[in-house]
Amino acid sequence: CSLKISDYNCQVMNHFYSFKQNKCVPCPVNFISDNRYPFKCYLPTNKYNYSLTVAECAKFNLTIMRPKSVNERQMVLNLFSDYISVDSKITKLGATYLWGDGTKVYGFGNNEPNNRGNFNDLV
């Protein structure tokens, strides 16, 4: 909470701020970044379903998105669309959505998440 995000903006396109290296570094090939949330790179693709996306990310030791803050969620919606896969899933209707790291998913409005009425793949 003490970080001022604008202090970590990278001046070069498709670079992200690495705390490990304490500098801006390039995103992997085909990934993009955004200075509204400069600590990550994103791969814009809709070619996989949820399970395949998780598997594809794991091949590269990456995770599917976990946009936890309101700012990051809005940025993701602006960058990609209103329908993206994120690292959260439930096994039955009415269950609590959890992120892949086990923390609770917050920030949904009334009657959300509604899975767009699709109850075959509860993600």
pLDDT of 113? 64
pLDDT of 110? 65
pLDDT of 117? 64
Q: Collect the ranges in the chain with pLDDT lower than 50.
A: 123
The structure's pTM equals 0.64
3-class secondary structure per residue, 49-66 = CHHHHHHHHHHCCCCCCC
Chain center to CA of 3: 20
The CA distance from 31 to 20, in Å, is 19
pLDDT tens-digit profile of 75-95? 877 887 666 777 777 766 667
Residue holding tokens 């001022």? 4
